[in-house]
């Protein structure tokens, strides 16, 4: 059997065991397992890393447990503005979308932007127009409604406050989702999707749709998907920074990821984590928070589904 690897995440942040019930933990792990299985099936059938990461993220977008797609948080005006990006490492093709509403699976739209639009990054109404042209599945506003998300918003509605998806309110951790993979041809790909911050204003966009900050893929180095305090990941150009350390300093995947997450990010007070895969099949999943919803699997049968360190 040809070699492949895949890893996924559902967000990093304050995830305390003391506030995690057995039922809630089982629900998260089951959701991660479903996404992992979906991506693995594509890879084991000889499919591309690009198809695998898109499918894994799509499954997570359809799960209300995570802050992406169906589980997206509320903006200050009570809407859902979603961001996503996808990139493949062979040709460095990439697609991204920001501030899009109604689209059931923003990651699907990101791939269509990459392959059909002639552009890399679309946003807002224009992105929605393109989604309609591409016959993306659109949903009514109530499809995105989640009671927990709504209550999250009510607590800070009408104020200037906003809440990160990994808020220090101990029982309210819901995160950005992402996937990275290496397929049997040695090609890598990465995908990331998010609903952003609760009560976000002014059309705020985080790192998730930004190529080089929240998502990056290059066969010569690695594929990366990030989660955490978006502003810091943008300033640190985190996903590309991992790739640069491998390319220009000759660091291994693990060493490059550790340097970025445990040193460079912390120096600017950034918290979060990332998942990464290289073209040799290595994986790295570092985080500097109390936990990160994560899972990975290799073609040799090795796998892990975990939340805490």
| pLDDT score for 148 | 80
- Could you tell me the CATH number of the domain that includes residue 73? 3.60.20.30
Say yes or no to pLDDT of 149 above 90: no
- Among all chains, which residue has been given the structure tokens 């099949």? 281
The distance in angstroms from the start CA to the end CA of the chain is 31
Task: Return d(Cα 239, Cα 252) in angstroms, integer.
Answer: 15
Write down the mean pLDDT value for the chain: 92
The C-alpha atoms of residue 282 and residue 254 are separated, in whole angstroms, by 8
- The pLDDT value recorded for residue 169 is 46
Average pLDDT on 102-129 reads: 98
Residues identified as active-site? 176
Report H helices in the chain. 22-44, 49-61, 106-112, 124-133, 147-154, 230-235, 238-249, 253-259, 265-267
CB atoms within 10 A of CB 62: 17
Report DSSP letters for 47-79, one per residue. Answer: --HHHHHHHHHHHHHT-TTSSSGGGPPP-TTS-
pLDDT, position 199:
81
Number of folded domains that form the chain: 1
Q: How confident is the model over 182-195, as pLDDT tens digits? A: 999 999 999 999 99
Mean pLDDT throughout 125-154? 91
Q: What is the mean pLDDT of residues 176-184?
A: 98
Q: Please, are residues 88 and 217 in contact by the beta-carbon 8 Å criterion?
A: yes
Provide the pLDDT for residue 168.
Answer: 47
CA 243 – CA 251 distance, rounded (Å) = 9
Q: In whole angstroms, what is the distance from residue 8 CA to residue 131 CA?
A: 25
**Range in 137-146, 197-206, 223-232 the model is least confident about:** 197-206
Q: What is the mean predicted confidence (pLDDT) over 154-179?
A: 66
CA–CA gap between residue 100 and residue 106 (Å, rounded): 8
Question: Quick one: 162 exposed, middle or buried, by C-beta within 10 A (0-12, 13-18, 19+)?
Answer: middle
Instruction: Tell me what pLDDT residue 170 has.
Output: 40
Judge whether 264 and 241 are in contact, CB under 8 Å.
yes
Residue 55 has pLDDT above 80, yes or no: yes
Q: pLDDT at position 162, please?
A: 66
Cα–Cα distance measured from residue 205 to residue 123, given in angstroms and rounded to the nearest whole number: 10
State the residue range of the domain holding 195.
5-308
- Report the percent of the chain where pLDDT is more than 70: 95
Quote the pLDDT of residue 102.
Answer: 96
Going by pLDDT thresholds of 50, 70 and 90, the confidence category of residue 171 is very low
User: What is the rounded average pLDDT of the residues 201-211?
Assistant: 92
């Amino acid at each position: 059997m040809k070699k492949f690897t895949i890893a996924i995440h559902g967000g990093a942040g304050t995830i305390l065991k003391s506030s995690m019930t057995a039922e809630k933990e089982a629900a998260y792990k089951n959701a991660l397992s479903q996404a992992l299985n979906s991506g693995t099936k594509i890879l084991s059938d000889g499919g591309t890393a690009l198809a695998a990461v898109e499918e894994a993220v799509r499954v997570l977008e359809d799960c209300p447990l995570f802050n992406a797609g169906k589980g997206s948080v509320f903006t200050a005006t009570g809407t859902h503005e979603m961001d996503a990006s996808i990139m493949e490492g062979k040709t460095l093709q990439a697609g991204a979308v920001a501030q899009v509403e109604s689209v059931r699976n923003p990651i699907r739209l990101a791939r269509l932007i990459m392959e059909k639009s002639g552009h890399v990054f679309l946003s807002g109404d224009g992105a929605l127009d393109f989604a309609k042209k591409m016959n993306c599945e659109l949903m009514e506003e109530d499809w995105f409604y989640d009671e927990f998300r709504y209550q999250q918003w009510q607590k800070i509605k009408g104020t200037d406050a906003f809440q990160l998806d990994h808020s220090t309110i101990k029982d309210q951790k819901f995160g950005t989702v992402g996937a990275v993979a290496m397929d049997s041809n040695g090609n890598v790909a990465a995908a990331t999707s998010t609903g952003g911050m609760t009560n976000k204003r002014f059309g705020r966009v985080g790192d998730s749709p930004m190529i080089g900050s929240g998502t990056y893929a290059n066969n010569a180095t690695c594929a990366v998907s990030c989660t955490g305090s978006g502003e810091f990941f943008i300033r640190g150009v985190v996903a590309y920074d991992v790739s640069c350390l491998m390319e220009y300093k000759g660091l291994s995947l693990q060493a490059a990821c550790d340097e970025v997450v445990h040193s460079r990010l912390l120096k600017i007070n950034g918290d979060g984590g990332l998942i990464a895969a290289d073209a040799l099949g290595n994986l790295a999943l570092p985080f500097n928070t109390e936990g990160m919803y994560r899972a990975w699997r290799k073609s040799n049968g090795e796998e892990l589904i975990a939340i805490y360190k």
